[in-house]
Amino acid sequence: MANIIVFILIILFLIIVVRVARVVTKGIQIEQELNESEQINKRLQEQIKMSEQRYKSLFDYHFDAVYSLDLKGRFTSANPVCEALSGYSPEELSGKNFSEIILNEDLEETVRIFHQTIKDGGSQQNKFRLKHKNGEIIHLHTTLIPIIIDGQTVGVYGVAKDITEQIKSQEMIQHLAYHDYLTGLPNRNMLESFLTSGTIAMENIAVLFIDLDRFKIVNDTLGHSMGDQLLKKVAETLKASLSDKDLIFRQGGDEFIVILKDADRKRADTAANVILDALSIPFKLNTTEVFTSPSIGISLSPEDGETVELLIKHADFAMYQAKKAGKKTYRFYSCIQHEGDFNPLTMEMELHKAIKRNELFLHYQPRVDLKTGNIVGVEALIRWNHAKWGMVSPTKFISIAEESGLINPIGEWVLRQACSQNKLWQERGFPPIVVSVNLSARQFSNVSIVSIVERVLNETGLAPKFLELEITESMTMDIEHTISTLHELKRLGVLISIDDFGTGFSSLNYLKEFPVDTLKIDQSFVRGLLNNNNGDTIVKTIISMTHHLQLKVVAEGIETEEQLVFLQEHHCDEGQGYFFSKPVFAEEFVQMWTRMEQFVGEYGIMQEPYWFGDDIPSGNHQVYLP
């Protein structure tokens, strides 16, 4: 019995020991867990502290402005950069609504982006202008990020970058692209932008196309820097002479375009007179007084065109008419009188089609050796027989071809036709002669003129020595270009003559440097022969001077026997004119050629002059038939 009790007591003791052990173990576990929890909490506190420090470091030392806003847009925090950008300290910004420092023009969009960030819960970007505390305008690019706690948006973080210098650079590039660097006026790019965007309303506008007279002389004589000064002063004068609502553009070079808004003929007339008076007063450049004047062409909407492009083209044409009228004046496009039922634009459009329609053709006028009477050359002269208008005078269409640029393709066509015809005459067994082709000023200034001539000679097979290119004396004003181009042409082997000699202004000092072969005395001097002593003296002087330069001299416009005899007596080499023949078709020239050779062989050129043409020229002479 006692043993049983002892056993039971032992069992109870063991149970108590086990339970105590469990309790102790549990206590140890709990203590361990508490220790671990403390350590975890400590680590979390350290991490939070570190995160706060990192955030504060990022917040305080970020290169950009970093700030936070509450849901009403009030600043709750701001880093030091915010003060640098806005002029307001973080303390001054605290509680201030961002709308108070945003430029009014940008406020609506900025507020919209702010609410969009809160509503969508995503980041948003925006550009706006900030009003600095000192009144300066700062351009900012911002990124807004919602502040979300427990799934709720409680505010907005913002990061703002100063892009003021970038914007200024872009604006400067934009300005330079659309404004003339010299005068500051809107340039051709700006004008084209206006045209394509429809900025310029077409109702009741006037276009004034202005070109400065004598600008090239100023530029070449006084230098480009003085020319630039003159252009600046002209631009300033134009701005001072017109109202703020009028548009002024520098077209390029010495050309300006003025667009008058809400203008009728009277206002355009008044504006043109104001500009004429203002630009005709001498400009003082450094210590030099420079005189210039404008030639102005005017077109009006809607009578002169329904687009600005067309109005500019018509004003440009009217400006050329003002120059032809003596410069320092203006012309209305609508007042320019045209013969026939066409205007310059229509004529230009028809010229485009003339070659394809085979409406252009050449006449040839012979050039005669005044010693032997032999035909030694011909001058190729362009003619236009329009299907509806009939024969159109070269005096009408050549100037339009020049102004429009069509003279280049037309001139190349003339060159090719003349060379082909001369080669054909040679192949038919006629004595080789020289064909003369006139070059216009625009052709001569074309950088491709030498290659064009070379190509035409190669294509037609004509030897270069049988082609003569005629340039006018006025085309030799640009001495460097003239000498360079003439030498390049001479290297091809062609002949060069200066046409209408005595009517231009080229220096005789440079004439000896030009690689030319022939001078052609202008017909105005030949017509003046025997009428006054001055006319005789001029012609004799030109002949003598030309021979001293070892050049050939040709007299144009010979119409009477007396003129012919005078020229022969003073040893003029060659002549052409109605006394010998008017310009004729190629086949007519061939027939005339044979008859003339027969006539000269029988009578001699000094004995009995012979008329080979349909028209009897003025002057006292007799006509003999073979």
Q: Does residue 399 register a pLDDT over 70?
A: yes
Q: Give residue 611's pLDDT.
A: 38
For CATH 3.20.20.450, the residue range(s) in the chain are: 344-603
Of all residues in the chain, the percent with pLDDT exceeding 70 is: 81
DSSP 8-state secondary structure symbol assigned to residue 186? B
For 377-381, 397-401, 515-519, 528-532, which range has the lowest pLDDT when averaged over its residues? 528-532
Neighbours of 248 (CB within 10 A): 18
Q: Give residue 351's pLDDT.
A: 87
Class of domain 62-167: alpha beta
**E strands along 457-573, which residues?**
467-472, 495-501, 518-521, 552-555
Radius of gyration of the chain, Cα coordinates, nearest whole angstrom: 45
Q: Does residue 47 register a pLDDT over 60?
A: no
Class of domain 179-335: alpha beta
Of all residues in the chain, the percent with pLDDT exceeding 90 is: 25
> In this structure, are residues 347 and 233 in contact, taking their beta carbons and an 8 Å threshold?
no
Q: Give residue 273's pLDDT.
A: 92
Amino acid identity, position 78: A
Q: Does residue 543 register a pLDDT over 70?
A: yes
- Count the helices and strands in the chain (H runs, E runs): 21, 21
Each residue's pLDDT tens digit, 76-130: 888 888 888 889 998 888 888 988 989 889 899 989 999 998 888 788 888 889 8
Q: CA 401 → CA 191, 317, 318, 406, distances in Å?
A: 25, 11, 15, 5
CATH number at 344-603: 3.20.20.450
Q: Does residue 558 register a pLDDT over 80?
A: yes
Secondary structure class of 214 (helix, strand, coil): coil
Q: Does residue 612 register a pLDDT over 60?
A: no
Rounded mean pLDDT of the chain? Answer: 81
Secondary structure class of 558 (helix, strand, coil): coil
CA 518, 522, 526, 529 torsion-angle sign: negative
Q: Give residue 598's pLDDT.
A: 57
Q: Give residue 42's pLDDT.
A: 59
Maximum average pLDDT range among 333-347, 409-423, 463-477? 409-423
CA 395 to chain centre: 28
Q: Does residue 181 register a pLDDT over 70?
A: yes
Q: Does residue 609 register a pLDDT over 50?
A: no
Q: Give residue 608's pLDDT.
A: 42
Q: Does residue 170 register a pLDDT over 60?
A: yes
Neighbours of 534 (CB within 10 A): 10
In this prediction, residues 462-469 reach a mean pLDDT of 96
Each residue's pLDDT tens digit, 502-512: 655 445 666 77
Cα 65 to Cα 75: distance, rounded to the nearest angstrom: 13
Nearest to 179 by CA among 167, 193, 169, 168: 193
Peptide bond into 609 cis (omega under 30): no
Q: Give residue 54's pLDDT.
A: 59
In this prediction, residues 211-224 reach a mean pLDDT of 82
Neighbours of 435 (CB within 10 A): 24
Q: CA 580 → CA 365, 372, 413, 523, 604, distances in Å?
A: 9, 14, 27, 14, 13
In this prediction, residues 602-626 reach a mean pLDDT of 38
Q: Could you write out the DSSP letters of every residue in 223-289?
A: -HHHHHHHHHHHHHHHHHHS-TTSEEEEEETTEEEEEETT--HHHHHHHHHHHHHHHTSPEEETTEE
**More confidently predicted of 30 and 191:** 191
**Which tokens belong to 81?**
């950069």
Maximum average pLDDT range among 36-50, 301-315, 431-445, 597-611? 431-445
Alpha helices (H) along 342-478? 344-354, 394-404, 407-427, 441-445, 449-460
Q: Does residue 171 register a pLDDT over 60?
A: yes
pLDDT-derived band at 339 (thresholds 50, 70, 90) equals very low
Cα 505 to Cα 500: distance, rounded to the nearest angstrom: 11
Cα 295 to Cα 280: distance, rounded to the nearest angstrom: 11
Nearest to 297 by CA among 230, 206, 192: 206
Each residue's pLDDT tens digit, 49-64: 554 455 565 666 677 8
For CATH 3.30.70.270, the residue range(s) in the chain are: 179-335
Q: Give residue 425's pLDDT.
A: 94
Q: Give residue 341's pLDDT.
A: 45
Nearest to 213 by CA among 280, 293, 291, 272: 293
Q: Does residue 521 register a pLDDT over 60?
A: yes
Each residue's pLDDT tens digit, 349-363: 888 888 888 899 999
Each residue's pLDDT tens digit, 62-79: 778 889 899 898 998 888
In this prediction, residues 157-182 reach a mean pLDDT of 81
In this prediction, residues 385-412 reach a mean pLDDT of 85
3-state secondary structure 559-622: CCHHHHHHHHHCCCCEECCCCCCCCECHHHHHHHHHHHHHHHHHHCCCCCCCCCCCCCCCCCCC
**More confidently predicted of 177 and 433:** 433
